[in-house]
Amino acid sequence: MNSTAKPWISRRTFLRGTGVAMALPYLEAMMPQSVFAAPVPAAPTRMGMFYFGTGMNMRQFWPERSGVDAASSRILKPLEKHRGSFTAINGTYLNEGGGHDGAYPFSTSIAKGKKQQRSPDQIAAAAIGSETRFASLQLSVDRGTNYGSQALATISWNEQGVPLAAENDPKAIFDKLFRPDTQAEKSQEKNEFRRRRSILDLVRDDAQQLARKLGKTDRDQLDQYYNSVRELEQSLARRVEWADTPKPSIETDSLHGTYDKKMAGPEGNGDYLYDDYAKLMYDLIALAFQTDSTRVVSYVVRKELAGGVYPEFNVSQGYHSLSHHGNDPQSLEELARVDTIYMQHWAYLLDRLKSIREGDSTLLDRTLLGLSSGMGFEHSKNNLPTVLSGGMGLGVKHHGHLQLEQEVPLASLWQTMLDRVGVPVADHFQDSPGTIAALVG
């Protein structure tokens, strides 16, 4: 190829400063420069799998009618502005789901207690993650795996069927994405958040030199990216500041139990609003995709059994207790209220991905996000709360509310997503009869 046809910035270019390397988003300057060059390469494809434990209030989840123009249900109402970019899929089930062991078969179709197999996110990671720093990211509201318990903290399994540990601390995830790795570099940058030194300050000279060579479109995109990083750093810095602020001393003799266990995630923490936590995690996912740090994410947004509700939700019981509603009107109302809050956060993630330009499209256009649960309503393995979002640039046909003519295993959603992000799978994928034709037709 003629040298003039080559992009003058490599897709793997980093901004560098003392002890840090900051990945760049997808820019026009990374495309071939000659009009006689090969076709402009598309931005990479991405995929995310999201687990919402303990199902949802399905009575207020499905719209009354099908189709892209159907009026939104109460729980899906926050997604209204993304009409045309998502599909609520009515008719998925987990053959081994139901009850509180549904996180185990969620991504593999294999029941708890049996040898697991490689999950779809890891299949994707092997195929489309080789060019990224992290082949995949495993996130959760709880750290580790919790393997063996019903409150599984991960939905990712490697080729040997071993669960992959998840991370729940936004600061740890940010550090993983942007902070130095070696002990010497870590020592040099010790307490950087407390000194309020931004990673953007450390790469400023490199960034300014780059900006002078870019066109207006690329400069605007970089400014948007820098603002996102700066805002996220400020949010994390506020958490660090409060963590260092001593709390009032109190007498503990009359308290039940001890309260000295440090928890970075929201479950059992109470140190900050879940709304802040949820948005931090979704911001990190958007940044990880935008910088091509990874192309594959799994996230346990809500575990089974424990947690799932927070003080600001203003409900009377935990999520699990609400799910055992016994047709009590207040419990059903509170359950729908909580589910709607989670969908508001989901809409926030879609907002972030849609706001990020990549050439002639957006990050959301080339990203497929699938959410569901290990159970439907009242602990059933049928009628799962399944939503597919994004991927309009990947040949996905969205329906708003899709009522399937015949129920299909949840594995059909994963197979469809893998197909759309360009990952070939075997003819017999888990217990799926094939891709969901209505989504790709």
313 assigned to some structural domain: yes
CATH number at residue 394: 3.40.720.10
Backbone φ and ψ for 407, nearest 5 degrees, come out as -60, 145
* Cα(439)–Cα(441) distance, integer angstroms: 6
Let me know if 441 is exposed, middle or buried by CB neighbors in 10 A (0-12, 13-18, 19+).
exposed
User: What is the domain extent for residue 328?
Assistant: 42-169+264-440
* Per-residue model confidence (pLDDT) at position 181: 54
What is the separation of C-alpha 48 from the centre of its chain, rounded to a whole number of angstroms?
A: 6
Q: Which two tokens stand for residue 360?
A: 């002639």
Give me the residues of the chain with pLDDT under 50, please. 1-4, 34-38, 40, 188-190, 194-196, 242-263
174 assigned to some structural domain: no
Q: Which two tokens stand for residue 391?
A: 């991927």
363 assigned to some structural domain: yes
52 and 45 in contact (C-beta within 8 Å)?
Answer: no
* Per-residue model confidence (pLDDT) at position 217: 84
390 assigned to some structural domain: yes
* Per-residue model confidence (pLDDT) at position 348: 96
Which residue's entry shows tokens 């942007």?
A: 178
27 assigned to some structural domain: no
18 assigned to some structural domain: no
* Per-residue model confidence (pLDDT) at position 282: 94
The alpha-helical segments, DSSP class H, found in 169-257 are 170-178, 183-188, 199-202, 204-211, 216-243
Closest CA to 233 of 293, 300, 292, 284: 284
* Per-residue model confidence (pLDDT) at position 33: 53
* Cα(294)–Cα(437) distance, integer angstroms: 28
Q: Please name the amino acid found at residue 109.
A: S
31 assigned to some structural domain: no
115 assigned to some structural domain: yes
* Per-residue model confidence (pLDDT) at position 7: 57
User: How many folded domains does the chain comprise?
Assistant: 1
* Per-residue model confidence (pLDDT) at position 174: 83
